[in-house]
Chain A
Amino acid sequence: MTVDEILTLFKESPTDTKVSNVRKVIAAMLRRAKIRFNYKTWMIFDFANTLFMVFTYFLLSFIILPEDIAKAGYGYSYFDFALVGIAISHFITASLRSLALTIRLEQFYGTLESVLSTPTDFVILFMGDLLYYFFYSLIFLIIILPTGIILGSKIVINIWTVLTMLTLITLLVIANLPIGILSAGMVLKFKQGDPIGWALTWINQFFGGTFFPIIILPSFLRFMSLGLPLTYSLDAIRYSLIWGVTLLHERILYDSIVLIIYALIGYPIAIKIFRYIYNSARKEGKIGIY
């Protein structure tokens, strides 16, 4: 008699069990990974596109004069310069868009309300997704940098530069995340794909200097660049990988401090605005609608 079985099981078992937050975050990360694995086509496209981008910039570097690159302090190879930019581009997307994507997808699946009706804070889901995108981006990094080296890039890879790079990437994600939180708030409010995240990715790619050193921008545009945390992250990571220096180098130290300041200012503002939008969505009854 299964009903009896269920009833005894429920009668005996405790109602106040606990699951630690770390476990929840890991579960959330794995869930995203499993869902994403259903979209193999897009993963393959993503990988192929990024690899072809490396090849493309490798070929492009043949006709590029490295004078401006050298002037900006990034050595004598345009390929090295672009390679680093491409290698970390996924982290930028991850930090700017993963939260907005979470909200968007949960709304689309209709799971947002199911999740919100549990005692677990939504932040857990955010963190799980962020972690997933972080590892996903890491795989790109691990594939792209060696590919670049095979193609002749002279970037310095040793235990110290790798550690420095990972630290700087973590800083990059942390400093960009407030913008990501804001764009998640916009998705909750406007129920449109993730246009702001998209636009931000483009704007960051342009002003952050993924494909050219920002010193060639006219001063009014360079001013915009200096307002973006990505500019400092890219500068520090490039500088470290190209010259083989670590966090202790003053230029990198300076960049890191700027990033930390961004984070310190960014979080309180972003979280406040997000809270506000979230609560007003709860008032208007628009949380689950997509």
Chain B
Amino acid sequence: MSFEEFKETLADEEKIHGLYGFLRKAWASWFYQMKIYVSYRMNLALDIIDIVLSALIYYYVGFLVSTDDLVKLGYTPDYVAFALSGIALSRYLWTTIARLAHKMRHEISAGTFESLAAIDSDNFKSWITGQVFYGSTWSSSTFILTILVGYMLGAKFTRNPFVWVQAIFIVILVIAIHAAIGVMAAGMYIIHKQLETLLVLMISVMEFFGGVIYPLAILWNYPILYYIALLMPFTHGLELFRRTIIDEKPLTDPKILTHLGALCAFAPLIYIGLRVYEYYLMKAKRLGLLSSY
């Protein structure tokens, strides 16, 4: 091949601006992340083992649970449905909150972050969009699998597709709000490297207070803890999700409305998150911190 031929190939390059270019880059970021995942073929097997065995653990713990107590606390007597709905939704916590910052750490220490920065034209927004979608793809697959395993183990999730539409709406809301926290954190992470610790702690805390495998109402015994739990978006999201897919409560139900209101109160985070992220990225570029360990 001569240099001329090479130059010709460059002439084909169309100038790509705007939304199309953005989507194309986001797609690339999603696609290559997916490729990396698939290249470790064992990952898939592992995730499946993780999903099936953790479902089985709560299936058997369910045998020990006093259904009377569950009913007294205001749930259906079906503990398997209870626990698996919690586990399914909690799959989104890691990918939305901490994964971005974690991914950035990897890129920075591998030196690829600077290469990304060198070709970046939109403050990493397309990259981040791709990464968030990748995280959501992964989490959603595990989410769906967990729910399917739940059905197989006899969990009484709703079979009404309309109720599922409502459930999916709630899940998307949960993802959006938590991803906003993650994006914000990723921006701050570039400068404050200690933040990663805080993020992973946050996941543990949210998971604990969310009542993933125990009924939130037990926390009534410790009112302070109960109020702390109410401060977390995940707690409301999980309660909404459960009431929807187990009890088939419509959005108009007063209890559902309260939780929905509480969850929506966190919605401004989506805007704030992006702003904070941009601010920190600019700051990092000024300080030249994109490649420091």
Give chain A's interface residues, CB within 8 Å of chain B: 40-42, 44-45, 48-49, 52, 55-56, 59-60, 62-66, 68-69, 78, 190, 192-193, 195, 198-199, 202-203, 205-206, 211-212, 216-217
Contacts and interface: CB of A to CB of B under 8 A. Distances in A.
Nearest to A207: B53
B200 A216 contact: no
A64 B64 contact: yes
Interface stretch (B130-138, B145-153, B212-220, B254-262): B212-220
B228 interface: no
A212 B57 contact: yes
B158 interface: no
Contacts of B221: 62
B214 A63 contact: yes
Of B41, B200, B201, B204, most buried by chain A (CB within 10 Å of CB) is B204
A135 to B, nearest CB: 22
B42 interface: yes
Contact of B46 (A44, A55, A195, A211): A195
B20 interface: no
A212 B42 contact: no
Contact of A203 (B42, B53, B204): B53
A44 B56 CA distance: 28
* Chain A at the B interface: SS class: helix
Given A192-B40, A199-B46, A63 B70 contact: yes
Interface string B41-84: 11101100110011011001101111001100100000000000
B219 A206 contact: no
B208 interface: yes
16 contacts: A41-B200, A42-B200, A56-B212, A63-B65, A63-B73, A63-B214, A65-B65, A69-B64, A190-B42, A193-B40, A195-B45, A195-B46, A198-B46, A199-B46, A206-B53, A206-B56
A44 B63 contact: no
A56 B208 contact: yes
Nearest to A195: B42
Contacts of B63: 68, 212, 216
B204 A48 contact: yes
B219 A59 contact: yes
Q: How large is the interface on B (under 10, 10 to 19, 20 to 34, 35 or more residues)?
A: 35 or more
Contact of B66 (A49, A59, A64, A198): A64
Interface in B213-236: 213-215, 218-219, 221
Given A44-B197, A216-B60, A217-B60, A56 B204 contact: no
A89 to B, nearest CB: 13
B200 A62 contact: no
A59 B63 CA distance: 17
Nearest to B222: A59
Nearest to A203: B53
B207 interface: yes
B205 interface: yes
A64 B203 CA distance: 26
Given A60-B213, A63-B218, A205-B53, A55 B208 contact: yes
A193 B37 CA distance: 12
A195 B69 CA distance: 39
Given A52-B207, A64-B66, A203-B49, 4 more contacts: A65-B64, A192-B42, A195-B45, A198-B46
Contact of B60 (A63, A66, A203, A212): A212
Q: Which 7 A-B pairs have the closest CB atoms?
A: A195-B42, A45-B200, A63-B69, A52-B208, A59-B214, A60-B214, A48-B204
B196 interface: yes
Interface in B170-225: 196-197, 200-201, 203-205, 207-208, 212-215, 218-219, 221
A103 B70 CA distance: 47
